[in-house]
């Protein structure tokens, strides 16, 4: 696991500024504290920071082929590299190391751009071929590992694992992308391929990009897709058995490591399943860790302890105070651009805890996306039954009226909050799903943003990208459509970004067996009743895990990895955000209505409405903007 960065001259083969390259590379020291390396050739510079996991003695990067014609700079793990290596050895290739990095070099020589089809794992890499004057950039199928790119006016193309490496280059402009701001205040993150800056973009998951000396930069090319088609016809028992075997195999190939390895254990279905499989595959007890909270409603350590006791793991847990908001500026530095998933805070804490004992940790991320485990999936399915029976021309005015007339009751139990349901029934499928995952609904964004901002975005709507993905999804049912959108947008933009930055900030490698692309492709072929049945999401996963995980844990209500942000803004963070709203760089842009934000804060403080997530979104945007534009933000007190 590492951090990569580099620059490539698309005009000619000009001299690389070594000092600039070193600064770009050093900005990501946290991603690879064990070793550092740079490679410079006419028109090309590559930088690498290494967290040593496999082949500790000879896996240094950037790594060149024996003839020095090809050089690779790589972040990630290719779990099937030994199989690929044996195949390449049969073709006559000679290997000098035992690392998966060298496999990429010779896979390129054998298969060219199609080499990525051979790789099973998580990766982002840059590969320079001196023979053809080309730079090949690639990102894994799901987007577990990040890669940011910027094309400068001078003809240089920059790239790096994190945006901060690009920001270390003196020529990059820090002008904000107004469309990305609309995306952020819709989703709480900025979906690929945008970044907060006009000058930079993210290479989308499952894409490659080829650069050439003397040619203009081209568009990224997709190399992988997934289809949610009902292809599996076996019995429930047969599918549950196959589920178990496929999960066990996905876990097994992720156990390769020359450094201490463990697992996150939250007490939820997914992490419990991973630990159960690990325990059956490892000779020594599994190292597990969990984070708990001193507020019972947010604490799951008791459930985690059940699994730890059952499998006799070396378990460690640590309690975090419910007012643990001292990490805000640490998170802003880790994520670079605005990112408001508040579970990033406990994720960072559990990564800190894990890193005290291990260098690699397996996680349960991906189970909800893979098997339709979110509450919103079930709600969307129920709502779609109504939407499918009534034409939109009738639903939009009728349910739209009810949505406006029904009182807003954020304080009430979930079953009494019918307003959002009425609103969803008056929308198209895509609109309703975007509405369900939005932190700030359209009418709120309309009130918060000024006319100046609305003129600048020129009618751009953040839901259009999501709608396009949902409408084009290769799926046999509506849940498959939104799962497809989750995998293409939500997963790389939110979940995997959260885990990558939090783990890498403390020098920890996180691996996600449930996001093995072969397991994913199999699960996408399950019929709907194997994903959701009788109100249970992740149905087949739970059935498969019944012999391994206690029944009360498998079928208890889902509990998110969350923090009490609403209480914070009525207590310890009330003055912090109040002071921020008096003097903030975000208000200096002229894009935000100060009066609206003041009212939001006042309504929240008085308990009239619950705007905790919105206020957290605003606070994280302010902190990120302060860092991006070079204005020091006030430290929390």
Residues recognised as catalytic: 2
d(CA 225, CA 484): 10
Q: State the sign of the Cα–Cα–Cα–Cα dihedral 470, 474, 476, 480.
A: negative
The answer to whether residues 361 and 261 touch, using CB atoms and an 8 Å cutoff, is: yes
Give the neighbor-by-neighbor strand order of the sheet with 287-293. 314-320, 287-293, 261-264, 360-362, 509-511
Phi, psi (degrees; rounded to nearest 5) at 467: -60, -40
Residue 30 has a CB neighbour count (10 Å cut-off) of 18
Residue 105 CA: distances (Å) to CA of 316, 394, 469, 574: 40, 59, 34, 54
Tokens 């699994």, residue? 307
How many whole angstroms separate alpha carbon 608 and alpha carbon 408?
A: 10
Query: What does 545-564 look like in DSSP terms, one character per residue?
Result: HTTTS-HHHHTSPP--S---
Contacts of 109 (CB under 8 A, 6+ apart): 65, 70, 93
In 294-421, the DSSP E strands lie at: 314-320, 360-362
For 271-325, the DSSP string reads: HHHHHHHHHHH-SSPPEEEEEEESSGGG--HHHHHHHHHHHT-EEEEEEE-TT--
CA distance 577 to 602: 11
- Between CA 152 and CA 10 the distance in angstroms is 10
């Amino acid at each position: 696991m590492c951090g990569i960065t580099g620059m490539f001259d698309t005009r000619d083969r000009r001299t690389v500024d070594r000092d600039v390259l070193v600064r770009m590379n050093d900005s990501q020291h946290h991603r690879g504290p064990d070793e550092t390396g740079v490679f410079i050739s006419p028109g090309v510079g590559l930088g690498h920071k290494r967290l040593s996991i496999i082949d500790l003695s000879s896996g240094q990067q950037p790594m060149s082929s024996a003839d020095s014609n090809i050089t690779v700079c790589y972040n990630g793990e290719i779990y099937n590299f030994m199989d690929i290596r044996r195949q390449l050895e049969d073709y006559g290739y000679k290997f000098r190391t035992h690392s998966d990095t060298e496999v990429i070099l010779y896979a390129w020589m054998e298969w060219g751009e199609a080499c990525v089809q051979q790789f099973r794992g998580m990766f982002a890499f840059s590969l320079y071929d001196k023979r053809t004057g080309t730079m090949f950039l690639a990102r894994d199928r799901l987007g577990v590992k990040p890669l940011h790119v910027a094309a400068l006016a001078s003809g240089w193309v920059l790239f790096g694992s994190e945006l901060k490496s690009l920001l270390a280059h003196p020529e990059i402009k820090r002008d904000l992308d107004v469309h990305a701001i609309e995306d952020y205040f819709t989703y709480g993150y900025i979906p690929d391929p945008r970044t907060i800056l006009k000058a930079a973009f993210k290479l989308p998951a499952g894409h490659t990009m080829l650069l050439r000396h003397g040619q203009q930069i081209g568009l990224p090319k997709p190399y992988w897709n997934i289809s949610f088609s009902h292809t599996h016809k076996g019995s429930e028992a047969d599918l549950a058995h196959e589920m178990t075997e496929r999960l066990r195999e996905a876990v097994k190939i992720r156990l390769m490591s020359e450094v201490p390895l463990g697992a996150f254990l939250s007490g939820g279905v997914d992490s419990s399943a991973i630990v159960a499989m690990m325990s059956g595959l490892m000779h020594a007890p599994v190292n597990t860790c969990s984070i708990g909270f001193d507020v019972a409603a947010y604490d799951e350590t008791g459930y985690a302890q059940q699994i730890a006791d059952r499998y006799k793991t070396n378990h460690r847990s640590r309690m975090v105070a419910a007012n643990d908001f001292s990490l805000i500026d640490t998170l802003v530095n880790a994520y670079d651009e605005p990112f408001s998933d508040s579970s990033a805070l406990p994720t960072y804490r559990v990564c800190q805890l894990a890193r005290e004992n291990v260098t690699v940790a397996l996680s349960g991320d991906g189970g909800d996306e893979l098997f339709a485990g979110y509450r919103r999936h079930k709600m969307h399915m129920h709502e779609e039954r109504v939407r499918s029976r009534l034409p939109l021309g009738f639903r939009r005015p009728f349910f739209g009226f009810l949505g406006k007339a029904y009182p807003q009751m954020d304080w009430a139990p979930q079953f009494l909050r019918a307003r959002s349901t009425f609103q969803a029934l008056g929308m198209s499928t895509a609109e309703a799903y975007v509405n369900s995952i939005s932190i700030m609904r359209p009418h709120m964004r309309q009130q918060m943003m000024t006319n100046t901002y609305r003129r600048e975005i020129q009618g751009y709507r953040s839901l259009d990208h999501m709608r396009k993905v949902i409408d084009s999804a290769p799926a046999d049912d509506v849940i498959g459509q939104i799962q497809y959108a989750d995998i293409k947008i939500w997963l790389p933009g939110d979940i995997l970004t959260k885990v990558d930055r939090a783990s890498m900030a403390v020098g920890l490698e996180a691996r996600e067996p449930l996001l093995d692309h072969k397991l994913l492709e199999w699960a996408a072929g399950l019929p709907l009743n194997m994903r959701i049945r009788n109100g249970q999401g992740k149905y087949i996963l739970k059935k498969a895990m019944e012999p391994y995980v206690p029944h009360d844990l498998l079928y208890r209500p889902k509990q998110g990895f969350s923090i009490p942000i609403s209480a914070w803004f009525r207590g310890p963070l009330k003055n912090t955000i109040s002071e921020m709203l008096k003097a903030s760089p975000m208000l200096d842009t002229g894009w935000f209505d100060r009066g609206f934000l003041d009212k939001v804060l006042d309504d929240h403080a008085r308990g009239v409405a619950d705007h905790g997530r919105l206020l957290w979104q605003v606070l994280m945007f302010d902190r990120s903007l302060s860092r991006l534009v070079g204005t020091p933000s006030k430290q929390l007190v």
